[in-house]
Structure 1
Amino acid sequence: MTTIETHVDETTFSKHESEVRTYCRNWPALFDTAQGSWLTDVNGKQYLDFFAGAGALNYGHNEPTLKDALIDYLVRDGITHGLDMSTRAKGEFLQTFHDLILAPRNLDYKVQFPGPTGTNAVESALKLARKVTGRESIISFTNAFHGMTLGSLSVTGNASKRAGAGVPLVHSTPMPFDNYFDGTVEDFGWFERVLDDQGSGLNRPAAVIVETVQGEGGVNVARAEWLRALAELCFDREILLIVDDVQMGCGRTGEFFSFEFAGITPDIVTLSKSIGGYGLPMALTLLKPELDVWAPGEHNGTFRGNNPAFVTATAALNKFWADDLLTRDVARKGAIISEAFADICARHPGMSHRGRGMVAGLVFEEASLAAEVCAIAYESGLLAETSGPSDEVIKLLPPLTIDEDDLLHGLAILRDAVALVNPAPTMEATA
């Protein structure tokens, strides 16, 4: 058998790949290998990963226990593609998810496997809410992000992403997210008024969909009391509450579900990204049993039965969620990030920070500085992205398992990059 050597360089992608590509424009390295919190390019340069696959790699790259489980499964010719057929891998995941995640939290959810992406989980949640209630309208929130397919875009706030739909995005109404008016407007005042006013023109919604922390929207953090009030409002008016935990679930904020700290129980929950554990495509839509009114095949997908992802997901649950060690570690490392960001903000004008657990945002009043800092950080071997309506926020999503020394190293790179683009005022300027 003749082996043909394939030559790949930076021009390969501009010649052959669509202009829609994004991350490679800011991080043009030709990456080759990855382990833990580090990626290595073909020239041997290493990059510390504060991006973690947009939150799909909470346990890092090529985590050994997960990799071993995957290799063993493939070597023994385990089922790879199974649609929604019953397989050993899926059954073991379902039982483990129930025993380690749902039962200890007294959560009674049925598990639906939609197509293996976050946006498909959201699409199925919206469809189910409309089917259950017989209503069409969905309430979303300012600066929300729920995915790039049409239904998910209809409940997404970002104007540039919505513009790509090419058709009107209907049957949804945005409401102000927590602190949208900087505390100057009473929470839910407008929402409650238009719901109860027969002259408001608002159709009674089927559901409300919310992120407890808006990652893409700029690391906007909802308070526990705001979430509890939202849950109560939905319950009182027989509106279903959907929590989109695609990016903030699986421990990103500390607890497995990001809504746990508020003491609420959503009607429907969407999970994807890190639920597969290893970066393999997988998504779940969790629904209360009384909402499980689907007809067989009414929502499906060819790759909803990604069995290798079931294997790595089960291994991740057993390794990281059989106790509370990871949750406590996330709290500890989150405090380190918050302290470092507070120090940066104290030294430099026009900056603030926010976050929860190990999702953190460094906010710039002058939006363009965020991208400049990320570009300098990249040259210094750190991957971090921007978010927010004007890309004014540096969003940190390091692996939850990152070594503390690596975490401090990455934060030092950011600190030095900020100092280059936003120098601290001199003593003369502050006198």
Structure 2
Amino acid sequence: MSQTDKSIFEEFESEVRSYCRNFPSIFTKAKGYKMWDEAGQEYIDFFSGAGALNYGHNDPVMKSKLVEYISNDGITHSLDMATSAKAEFISKFNDVILKPRKLDYKIMFPGPTGTNTVESALKLARKVTGRTDVISFTNGFHGMTIGSLSVTGNAAKRKGAGIPLHHSVTMPYDNFVDNNSSLDYLESFLEGGGSGVDIPAAMILETVQGEGGINAASFDWLKKIEQICKRWGILLIIDDVQAGVGRTGTFFSFEPAGITPDIVCMSKSLSGFGLPFAITLFHPELDIWSPGEHNGTFRGNNHAFVTATAALSYWEDKEFEKSIQNKSKMIHDFLVKLNQDTPELNGEVCGRGFMTGIVSEVDGLASKITAEAFERGLIMETSGPNDEVFKLFPPITIDEDGLKKGFNIIEESVKSILKEPVTN
């Protein structure tokens, strides 16, 4: 097979592309936790499509169901019309996910992206409460469309909007300032008549901030946020686009905190296969939409319904969740030991579950480590406002052998970057 001329991307594709600059190969094949490029180079994938491939690449059960559905001329596109594929997903999602967790949510199908589920959540919160402002949190990331950007903390991404972003107030995330002072600060703004902050329609947050630096909120902080929301009649929106679907050890990232959000945003790995798919969950009493008040041409992605339904079969086996948590401990223990054994990192382990990393205070170090890892056959990216975290996002289905192979490459990469220069 002839090699692809890379100049085609330089010549015709926009300068906005980013991941291809960090992973400068032309990929041709992927299976499980591995990817291959045109030259036949094999890579271990600790990136998982930025969290969109929690079950790895080309899961055989999902692939089989999808191929069968396509071969039988199943409906591909249906907007919000009723299809058997949609009915099967709704039924299984209720039976396997919602009912066992005693969660009473209506399911809304917005457009198929993460930013669209966030947009629908913000619109619904404002419609229900009649208020306009939304409280978001430092280093939060919620999407790239205007509403989602307004509640996103990253200055560079906000600047891309090209207009002022209004009707949002940013408050400190857990550990952004010491101890519980962030909550005291928040409550003082809600209570203070001179604070300039109106009672908001909602608060939106990630329980673990993906793009913002793999910052994990404590369960105590999350519980207190929920209490504050209830006290003031504020709707709590949990953005589980990246942290959900097992990424932090449970299907929903908020489960261990014992909270029940008013609205939940999900996308990325929900389809199980990397197909665009999103849902917005909310309490039935909040369902005051008029027909068509929020819609999207591709909200009826039936191929995604098929693979998402197949993916939910993993969660029928309680051992599956236990396996994620067991492997999560392996990841955590590896990072703790690596950090302890390498004081030159000047680092700290961060995150939760399969959403972890090491934040380093050494400028540019995390980027050098990820670049070195790629040269050695491992794909992982950086996170944080200054790319100060190298983060581990393996698929949750990876086996222990695959994890250990990835760990070895990371350790070798860290040692290579930190080794002292040879002196004559």
2:162 matches 1:163:
no
Q: Which residue of 1 aligns with 2:215?
A: 220
Question: Matched residue of 2:10: which SS?
Answer: helix
Q: Is the contact made by 2:176 and 2:182 (CA closer than 8 Å) also made in structure 1? A: no
Question: Matched residue of 1:390: which SS?
Answer: coil
2:202 matches 1:200:
no
Structure 1 counterpart of 2:309, which letter? T
Cα deviation digits, residues 129-177 of structure 1 (max 9, x gap): 0000000000000000000001000000011111100000110000000
1:304 to 299, 304, 307: 299
Change (3 A) 1:424 1:247: farther
Cα deviation digits, residues 290-314 of structure 1 (max 9, x gap): 0000000000000000000000000
2:96 matches 1:100:
yes
User: Could you state the TM-score of these two structures normalised by the residue count of structure 2?
Assistant: 0.97
- Paired with 1:424 and 1:110, the residues of 2 have a C-alpha distance of 58
Map residues 176-195 of structure 1 onto 2, 5 A cutoff.
Answer: 176-183=172-179, 186-195=181-190
Question: Matched residue of 1:325: which SS?
Answer: helix
- Paired with 2:39 and 2:416, the residues of 1 have a C-alpha distance of 27
Map residues 27-426 of structure 1 onto 2, 5 A cutoff.
Answer: 27-183=23-179, 186-318=181-313, 320-349=314-343, 350-423=346-419
- Paired with 1:315 and 1:50, the residues of 2 have a C-alpha distance of 23
User: Could you state the TM-score of these two structures normalised by the residue count of structure 1?
Assistant: 0.95
Q: CA deviation at 1:223?
A: 0.6
- Paired with 1:68 and 1:26, the residues of 2 have a C-alpha distance of 32
Q: CA deviation at 1:200?
A: 1.1
Q: Is the contact made by 1:348 and 1:423 (CA closer than 8 Å) also made in structure 2? A: no
- Paired with 1:324 and 1:254, the residues of 2 have a C-alpha distance of 12
Cα deviation digits, residues 78-116 of structure 1 (max 9, x gap): 000000000000000000000000000000000000000
Structure 2 counterpart of 1:88, which letter? S
Q: CA deviation at 1:6?
A: 9.1
Cα deviation digits, residues 159-217 of structure 1 (max 9, x gap): 1111100000110000000011143x624111101101111110110000010000111
Change (3 A) 1:342 1:75: same
Cα RMSD (Å) of the superposition? 1.3
Q: Which runs of 5+ in 1 are unaligned?
A: 426-431
Q: Which of structure 1's runs of 4+ aligned residues deviate more than 4 A? A: none
Q: Is the contact made by 2:372 and 2:417 (CA closer than 8 Å) also made in structure 1? A: no
Q: Which runs of 5+ in 2 are unaligned?
A: none
Cα deviation digits, residues 313-359 of structure 1 (max 9, x gap): 000002x1102222111111111111111111112221111121111
Q: CA deviation at 1:271?
A: 0.2
Map residues 3-18 of structure 1 onto 2, 5 A cutoff.
Answer: 8-18=4-14
Structure 1 counterpart of 2:121, which letter? A
Q: Is the contact made by 1:9 and 1:30 (CA closer than 8 Å) also made in structure 2? A: no
Q: CA deviation at 1:361?
A: 1.3
Q: CA deviation at 1:53?
A: 0.5
Question: Matched residue of 1:321: which SS?
Answer: helix
Q: Is the contact made by 1:367 and 1:393 (CA closer than 8 Å) also made in structure 2? A: no
